[in-house]
Amino acid sequence: MSSTCPSVPYSQDMAEARYDAVADFYEAGWRDANDDPVSGRLFDMLGEVGGVRVLDLACGHGRIARELARRGAHVTGVDISTALIRKAQEAELVDPLGIRYVHADVASSGWWNGPRFDRVVCNFGLSDIDDLDGAVANVAAALRPGGRFLFSILHPCFPGGQYVSGSWPSGTSYYEERWWSADGALSTLRRQVGANHRMLSTYVNTLTRHGFHLDELLEPPPPPEWASEPGEPARFPVFLVANCLAVHDGQS
């Protein structure tokens, strides 16, 4: 299967527009509190970041980037959305943390030619990126050998529940990889911007192809209230957090 969504021809302008349209929703819905199970596991995997150069891939309005900077990291954030980058820059003006924000398509070549990073973090962003192969190739190029790529995603194997959409379109199967829009009543963001469903093997094979060794996988449980939702979505793996070692020379 192709790692670029086959059902929607890729266009940087189209991708940017769909995230620009929800910038206010992002900012209101995802504040700087990073006490949810997934963010907590991601930061646990990162460990101490004081003095470490970190790239926040698909940084959105800067929630993860700001926490990294507060922990002492030297942070660069990159996102395809002009509106989200603007919100991140506005927050930096109000509370300067030394974060540099870059407006770019992370799957395109040549957007970064500065020093390599020690860590790259992507929190719930990979399924939003239409060209997975291009994005991972650029992560490999941006990381120093021995650096780490850490990311979280909705678990590719999550089937959903009565009011929560799973990882693939209703009426299809896990094996059909494509971009789609969710229809679950509680899947608020994915109803607006959609997502790319990819099999777990696609993620792993793409990482391996670009010189990453998968060191650690975690499957954080969903919030406790999910246990009472119809269809019992909490019985299934909902989230996936990964820690990958760059064993390449940066020339994928």
For residue 7, the model assigns a pLDDT of: 44
Buried b (16+ CB within 10 A) or exposed e, 209-241: ebbbeeeeebebebeeebeebeeebbebbbbbb
DSSP 21: T
Q: Pick 12-246's CATH classification: 3.40.50.150, 3.30.70.660, 3.10.105.10, 3.65.10.10.
A: 3.40.50.150
Q: What is the pLDDT of residue 23?
A: 72
Q: What angle do CA 29, 167, 162 make, to 5 degrees?
A: 80
Low-confidence residues in the chain, pLDDT < 70: 1-16, 25-33, 182-193, 226-233, 248-252
Quick one: CA torsion of 75, 196, 245, 139, rounded to 10 degrees? -50
Q: What pLDDT is recorded for position 162? A: 75
pLDDT at 6: 41
Residue 5's pLDDT is: 43
Give me the residue spans of the domains in the chain: 12-246
Of residues 155, 92, 252, 39, the one with CA closest to residue 75: 92
- Both tokens of 69, joined, read 């900077």
Strands 74-79 and 53-57: parallel
The token duo for 208 is 């391996």
Each residue's pLDDT tens digit, 87-143: 999 999 999 999 999 999 999 988 999 999 999 999 999 999 999 999 999 999 999
pLDDT at 2: 37
Local structure of residue 222 (DSSP, 8 states): P
Separation between Cα atoms, residue 153 and residue 167, nearest integer Å: 10
Tokens of residue 168, six digits: 């693939």
Provide the CA 63 distance to its chain's centre, in angstroms.
12
CB-based contact 178:196 (threshold 8 Å): yes
The radius of gyration of the chain from alpha carbons, rounded to an integer in Å, stands at: 17
How far is 93 from 12, CA to CA, in rounded Å? 27
- The pLDDT value recorded for residue 4 is 40
What is the model's pLDDT at position 160?
A: 83
Helices (H), 6-131: 12-20, 23-29, 37-46, 63-70, 82-94
In whole angstroms, what is the distance from residue 224 CA to residue 61 CA? 27
pLDDT at 68: 97
